[in-house]
Structure 1
Amino acid sequence: LGERIDRADLIMEREKMRRSAQLIVSLGGDGTLLRAARDFASYHTPLLGINLGGLGFLTEIPISRYKEGLARILDGEYKQEKRLMIKIAVHRARKKVGSFVALNDVVVSKAGMARIINLRTFVSNEFITTYSADGLVISTPTGSTAYSLSSGGPVVHPNLGVMILSPICAHTLAVRPLIVSRTERIKVVLGCGSEKVLLTMDGQVDFDLEDGDVIRAEEASYQAILIRMREKFFFKTLRTKLGWTGISGKTR
């Protein structure tokens, strides 16, 4: 932003910002806030989203009210809401080759027109099943209204301490989404013979997978801290953002 407005003096190195910032203000949509969460959550820095985008599930303040919102924050009129994050590690031939975090979800999916992939899946070392599908979404409650929902997963209240496993276009209808405790550790082994397969965090960070790769997902040691200006009405958000208006669109 500083470069765009010809104010290079406003630019701060990311590492210095991580160490010194007391609040991160995200200007954009949910995607911008997701990126900020991955960058700053480990420093326990609160995040405020100012919505310049469309849907705005996570962003708190519309751009038309940003002055009022920032003034209220300076006056201490806000709450902090903690959101579970997922830590992901990729092992190849018993060596760690990738390490990531996500606020919404981590997705194992085929690329392009590749055939279905086989994903041997374990929860805390207990074998669950081998998903034969286009992929698998491992979601937090925050991400339950994103890709997981499109894959048939449940809507989960953000205060719940769980993770959701939602297969993408599974080969059999008997395979359904699964909810597990935040304390569980999920392991996914990519079957042999798979074509190009991607690991994607929050729909933004990609990593190429190979046959036999092991993906481990568990709760991160820190949480994203979101600034809230008012009491958050989760179900009202569902009605307004997802169009859950019912027949008449009126409450009784």
Structure 2
Amino acid sequence: MRLEVRVVREGKEIAKEPVLNDIVINKGALARLAKIKTYINNRYLTTYRADGLIIATPTGSTAYSLAAGGPVLHPTVPAIVMTPICPFTLTNRPLIVPESVVIRIELEHKSSDIMLTFDGQAGLEISEKDTIIVQKGKHPINMVVMPDCHYFNVLKTKLRWSGSRI
């Protein structure tokens, strides 16, 4: 699965990107907490007060989202994970939502020095004038899987999990 991410500024679409792993909204190095208003299917969810927010696919769940305390999602799980980065409130935990939802993000008034990055590659400075819309992309990526390469073996190796020691 890929995500389709659109950025709308004052009614005009200024960016539209397909994303395989994740998008990250985060503050600059010397800035205070970001205040990120989040909606699911046009219903207000919460305002994350955090260093940032990661929205990841199952493929991206083993990257930055995992490092920030998010869960590992198996690639066939039809879901999107939302992981706050160092949230101010300890009750703001990672959230797994169905792949069918539309996530809308807005920044609180007078937000500054906030970046949106797409798969850790392209970046865009955003402000309270912007609305970020994230949803499942229309065009998934077909992955080549080697016959002897099993997902959980790759995961165990990547995360350096070991077997029991008896």
Pairwise TM-score range, normalised by the shorter structure: over 0.9
Deviations 1:69-114 (A, max 9, x none): xxxxxxxxxxxxxxx0000000111211111111000111112221
SS of the equivalent of 1:245 reads coil
Aligned length: 166
Matches within 5 A, 1:231-250: 231-246=148-163, 248=165
- Opposite residue 43 of structure 2, the aligned amino acid is E
Residue of structure 2 in register with 1:122 after alignment: 39
Residue of structure 2 in register with 1:189 after alignment: 106
Question: RMSD over aligned Cα, in angstroms?
Answer: 1.3
Q: Does 1:226 align with 2:143?
A: yes
SS of the equivalent of 1:192 reads coil
Residue of structure 2 in register with 1:11 after alignment: none
Matches within 5 A, 1:1-252: 84-246=1-163, 248=165
Larger RCO (alpha carbons 8 Å, 6+ apart): 2
Return the offset for 1:212: 3.1
Deviations 1:215-239 (A, max 9, x none): 0000010101111221542211121
Deviations 1:169-205 (A, max 9, x none): 0001011110011110000101122221111011111
- In 2, Cα distance between the equivalents of 1:120 and 1:130? 4
TM-score, normalization by structure 2: 0.95
SS of the equivalent of 2:105 reads strand
Q: After TM superposition, which residue ranges in structure 1, 4 or more long, deviate above 6 angstroms?
A: none
Return the offset for 1:246: 5.0
TM-score, normalization by structure 1: 0.64
Structure 1, unmatched stretches of 5+, are: 1-83
Q: Which protein shows a greater Rg?
A: 1
Note closer, same or farther for the CA distance 1:232–1:123 as it changes in structure 2 (3 Å cut): farther
- Opposite residue 20 of structure 2, the aligned amino acid is L
Aligned-pair identity in percent equals 39
Higher strand share: 2
Note closer, same or farther for the CA distance 1:244–1:192 as it changes in structure 2 (3 Å cut): same
SS of the equivalent of 2:36 reads strand
Structure 2, unmatched stretches of 5+, are: none
